[in-house]
Amino acid sequence: MEKGINRRAFLQGTAATSAVLFADNFVHGASVAPEATKVQIPEAEKIVITVITDNLADINRLDYKIAKRLAYGASPLEATVHAEHGLSYHVETVVEGKSHSCLYDFGVDARGILRNIDLLKIDLRQVEALGISHDHFDHQVALVEVLKAKRQEFAKEVPLYVGEQFFVGTYNKRPSGRIVQVNLLKKEDVEGLGFVRIVEVKGPTAIIPGAYLPGKIEQVTDYERIAPNFLAKKGNEFVQETFPGEQALVLNAKGKGLVVLSSCAHRGVVNSVKQAQRMTGIEKVHALIGGFHLINAKPELILKTVADIKAISPDYIVPTHCTGYEAISTFAREMPENFILNTAGTRYIITA
Which amino acid is residue 342, in one-letter code? N
> What's the CA gap between 299 and 231, in Å, rounded?
24
Question: What are the respective helix, strand and coil percentages of the chain, to the nearest 5?
Answer: 25, 30, 50
Domains and their CATH numbers in the chain: 7-351 (3.60.15.10)
pLDDT, mean of residues 164-185: 96
CA-to-CA separations, 244 to 23, 134, 135, 162, 284, in angstroms, rounded: 11, 9, 11, 11, 26
Q: Give yes or no for a contact between 86 and 121, defined as CB atoms under 8 angstroms apart.
A: no
State the pLDDT at residue 35.
60
State the pLDDT at residue 33.
53
Contacts of 26 (CB under 8 A, 6+ apart): 218, 219
For residue range 214-240, what is the model confidence (pLDDT) as tens digits?
Answer: 999 999 999 999 999 999 999 999 999
pLDDT, mean of residues 127-134: 98
- Sign, CA dihedral 233-236-238-242, equals negative
State the pLDDT at residue 7.
37
Helix, strand, or coil (residue 288): strand
For residue range 193-220, what is the model confidence (pLDDT) as tens digits?
Answer: 999 999 999 999 999 999 999 999 999 9
Of the listed ranges 27-41, 58-72, 114-128, 213-227, the one predicted with least confidence: 27-41
pLDDT at residue 71 greater than cutoff 60: yes
For residue range 322-333, what is the model confidence (pLDDT) as tens digits?
Answer: 999 999 999 999
pLDDT at residue 20 greater than cutoff 80: no
Query: How many residues in the chain?
Result: 352
Exposure string (b/e) for 21-38, b if CB count within 10 Å is 16 or more? ebeeebeeeebebeebee
Calculate the CA 154 to chain-centre distance: 21
- Tell me which DSSP letter residue 263 carries: S
For residue range 252-305, what is the model confidence (pLDDT) as tens digits?
Answer: 999 999 999 999 999 999 999 999 999 999 999 999 999 999 999 999 999 999
